[in-house]
Structure 1
Amino acid sequence: MRSGLTPEQDALAAELALGVLEGDERAEALRIRLADPAFAAAVEDWRLQLGVLHETGADELPPSGVWSAIDARISVADDAETVDKLRFWQRSAWASGAVAAALAVVLLLPDTPTVRTLVLPPSQSAIAQLNGEAGAILAASYTPQAGQLQIRPVDLPDSKLSPELWLIPADGVPRSLGLIGTTGTTKIDVPLALRAYLTDGAVLAVSLERAETAPHKAPTSTPIAVGKISTI
Structure 2
Amino acid sequence: MEPYATADQVWAGGLIFARVGAILMMIPGIGESYVPPRVRLSLALLLSLVMWPLVAGTLPALPPTLGGMVGWIIREVLTGLAIGLILRSFMTALVTAGEIISMQTTLGFSQTANPLQASPGSTLSAFLMLLGVTLIFATNTHHMFIAGVLGSYEAIAPAKPMIAADFAALAVKTLGESFMLGVQLSAPVLVFALIFNLASGLIARVMPAFQVYFAAAPLSVLLGLSVFALGLGVMGTIFIDRYRALARVFTGGALG
| Structure-1-length-normalised TM-score | 0.31
Q: Which has the higher strand share?
A: 1
Higher normalized contact order (CA 8 Å, seq sep 6+, divided by chain length): 2
Q: Which has the higher helix share?
A: 2
